[in-house]
Amino acid sequence: MNFFEEEIAKYERRLKRIEANPSTKMVSSNKLYYQAMLQDNVEQLKWWKEGKPFLAGLGIGLAELMRSFGEFRVLPMVAIADRLAPKRAEECFDRIRAMGLPDYACDRTILFLPMALAGDDLPRPKFIFNRTGACEIVHNTYRTLSKLMGVPMIDIDIPFEDPHQEHLQYVVDQLKAVITYVEANLPGAKYDEAKMVEWQALTRRWYAALHDIYELRKHVPCPDHPRDVFRGQHAPADYASAPMLVKYYETYRDELQERVARNFSPVGEEKLRIIWGITGPYGSNIWDYLAGRGVSVPFWHYGQAYRNFAMPFIGDETEFGRKLNPLEEAAREMIYNSWAGSGERWIRDTIVTCREFRADGFVQFEQTGCEPVLGIGQIVGEHLEKELGIPSWRVEGRQLLGRTERSSAEFMAGLEAFIDLCFERKKGR
Ligand code: SF4
């Protein structure tokens, strides 16, 4: 089975499971999420079978631009690797080693390489849209993909320095050059600003729902289950089922609103709140464990999260004192990321989110090979102690790979000890 067929089978199984046995703790809008993901994979597979063109690339801002060049679909490669089951991830990793590529990079990035190169697992993109920025691992993996596949690539330079607003025009100028280059080098591509406006209107609805969700999760008790909080946000333009996906986020928001109104907490009596940072071991039972101990996780904090949930978004006129045009809006989305630049942004945004959510502790799960957060966990922990008086736990691990009974048991033992510590510290405050 190719990637899309596997995904279709997976979401059909999940839908059957939640229809047969709906959870009272998880949001029921998850059903709509699975339906949207199922539809996405069905439509992507159909598009591929019909021989229609795909573009590969990364990220909010760029995805809307890619969809504005005509009838092109997007392959969000990192999000694709994120969805791999552990066994499939291990197989891809063996192929990475056999290809002589480094096995010390973050797993969610490099695992898409063997899939993309196989030829029968994913469609071959016509063009790659790349950017520098927070994560050089992603950037370099797309560069490698371009080189190994012989697919043309454009690269946008995102500066690091603050204030980030100063770089808007620099990025806009590059986007204008990108349009000229892509129109000249990608057969059938013609930038359509009206289409860009349409995509941004849909993306704006997505942001609006995320901002509401952010506020609703501040409520004590938190209305959301930790497992639902630990779900990546999908930029609508990356998906073939974009309108359905946006509908899911709005329905999710409405459901949390209703839970807040009746003071419902899926963890029972909320006894503790922690913020989870960066990523975690996918498919593990940590979220149910936390819920079972009455621990809420109101926010999953990573590079793009603060941008998505809390920063000014499409249509906002306050940040620059005027309405932005579509290319400026795209640039605005690309120039801020919590872990880009010096460590200052990551420290500041971590403190702000821990303060806003009244966290009793912070987990910094350091993804093996993740360059943006290397070496800063200690400093983040010291700031949290000093400014908020809360403990933090730094732990390193892979998101998808190397899961054994022993490593899982060690991880759970570490988590348990940290939660015990948070309870103790909370008692003493
Ligand atoms: S986990 Fe780190 S290295 Fe991997 S994609 Fe995210 S920022 Fe990049």
Whole-number Å distance between alpha carbons of 234 and 397:
24
What are 364-394's pLDDT values in tens digits?
999 998 888 778 899 999 999 999 999 999 9
Whole-number Å distance between alpha carbons of 78 and 64:
17
Nearest-CA residue for ligand 1 atom 8 is 135
User: Helix 193-216 and helix 326-334: axis angle, to 10°?
Assistant: 40
Q: What are phi and psi of 26, to 5 degrees?
A: -80, 155
CA 417 – ligand 1 centroid, Å: 27
Q: How confident is the model at residue 427 (pLDDT cuts 50, 70, 90)?
A: very high
Asked if residue 111 has its Cβ within 6 Å of ligand 1, the reply is no
Average pLDDT of the chain is 95
Nearest-CA residue for ligand 1 atom 2 is 370
> What sign for the dihedral angle of Cα 98, 101, 105, 111?
negative
| pLDDT of residue 109 exceeding 90 | no
Lowest mean pLDDT among 14-23, 78-87, 314-323, 376-385: 78-87
Q: How confident is the model at residue 13 (pLDDT cuts 50, 70, 90)?
A: very high
Domains and CATH numbers, the chain: 3-194 (3.40.50.11890), 196-428 (3.40.50.11900)
Residue 340: predicted pLDDT: 84
Q: How confident is the model at residue 103 (pLDDT cuts 50, 70, 90)?
A: confident
Asked if residue 308 has its Cβ within 6 Å of ligand 1, the reply is no
What are 49-94's pLDDT values in tens digits?
999 999 999 778 999 999 999 999 999 999 999 888 888 889 999 9
| pLDDT of residue 416 exceeding 90 | yes
CA 366 – ligand 1 centroid, Å: 10
CA 157 – ligand 1 centroid, Å: 18
Residue 374: predicted pLDDT: 74
Residue 266: predicted pLDDT: 97
Contact 67, 84 (CB under 8 A): no
Whole-number Å distance between alpha carbons of 56 and 130:
9
CA angle 165, 152, 183 (to 5 degrees): 70
Residue 375: predicted pLDDT: 82
Asked if residue 371 has its Cβ within 6 Å of ligand 1, the reply is yes
CA 45 – ligand 1 centroid, Å: 27
Asked if residue 106 has its Cβ within 6 Å of ligand 1, the reply is yes
Nearest-CA residue for ligand 1 atom 7 is 135
Asked if residue 108 has its Cβ within 6 Å of ligand 1, the reply is yes
402 vs 357, which has greater pLDDT? 357
Mutation probe of ligand 1 site: the residue of 109, 113, 142, 302 with most atoms within 8 A of C-beta: 109
Residue 411: predicted pLDDT: 93
> What sign for the dihedral angle of Cα 160, 162, 168, 170?
negative
| pLDDT of residue 10 exceeding 80 | yes
Residue 59: predicted pLDDT: 78
Asked if residue 338 has its Cβ within 6 Å of ligand 1, the reply is no
What are 251-296's pLDDT values in tens digits?
999 999 999 999 999 999 999 999 999 999 888 889 999 999 999 9
Q: How far, rounded to the nearest angstrom, does the alpha carbon of residue 426 sit from its chain's CA centroid?
A: 31
Residue 107: predicted pLDDT: 87
pTM of the model: 0.96
Residue 160: predicted pLDDT: 86
| pLDDT of residue 163 exceeding 80 | yes
